[in-house]
Amino acid sequence: MLKQLLERTLNAFCEDYKAFSKHHYPTIHNRGLSLEHLSSAFLRRLLSISKEFTQDTTAILFSNDVAHQPSVYLFTFNNEKVWCIFPPFLNAKTEAKSQIYFCIEALIATNQAKPNDHFIILCDHWFDRTKSSKALYYWWTGHQPLLINDYLIQGIHPLKTPELLSDVLKVQYEMEPITLSITHPIESKQHQSLLKYFLCFALLQYKAQPSFPS
């Protein structure tokens, strides 16, 4: 149920984003949502949908040091824990990726995250002409866009990369990727998806074996 809940939330959030961008044109088309608005809008939608199933659900701020690492919220649903990570993903360079890894590592190292806990990563990116930006789609999802010609028409030339987010998560952090997706919730005046704006979503589960005292 949790996977369906989160995927339904993402779909509803994308529709919220489309409506919001229409009301705030051209600001959203130029800059996207701020990290604060992105996280609060997603969590508001998540809580709204989750309460259709149970009142036993909460979302609390866990850490908010955006100058050094992503904002983290803890969402609970019927005693299941979901760590919601919102990185300030302004670019696709190594430093921005390292912030995501550091945040996951810190939650594991301090025993905040327990085996079978779920993780959400939600962040956005404006495509640019750097190599790291061109490779971001492949790095995040593990494949090229299905309708790659649509990207080429909009001046986006996706590249492959040997490093994949899923590989790092599995090998270094014992994370099992459930969903790794990129959507494009902003539309042009002609109601076409603005493909240079990436909304990156990941749903993961921490699969480490629980340790027991000897």
Per-residue pLDDT of the chain (214 residues; tens, 9 = 90+): 888 898 899 899 888 888 877 765 545 545 566 778 888 999 999 999 999 888 889 999 998 665 556 889 999 998 899 999 998 776 767 788 888 999 999 999 999 999 999 999 999 888 888 999 999 999 999 999 999 999 999 999 999 999 999 999 999 999 999 999 999 988 777 778 889 989 999 999 999 876 654 4
Sheet holding 57-63, edge to edge: 57-63, 71-77, 80-86, 118-126, 197-206, 175-183
The runs of H, that is alpha helices, within 160-209 are: 165-173
Secondary structure of residue 154 in the 3-state scheme: coil
pTM for this model (two decimals): 0.90
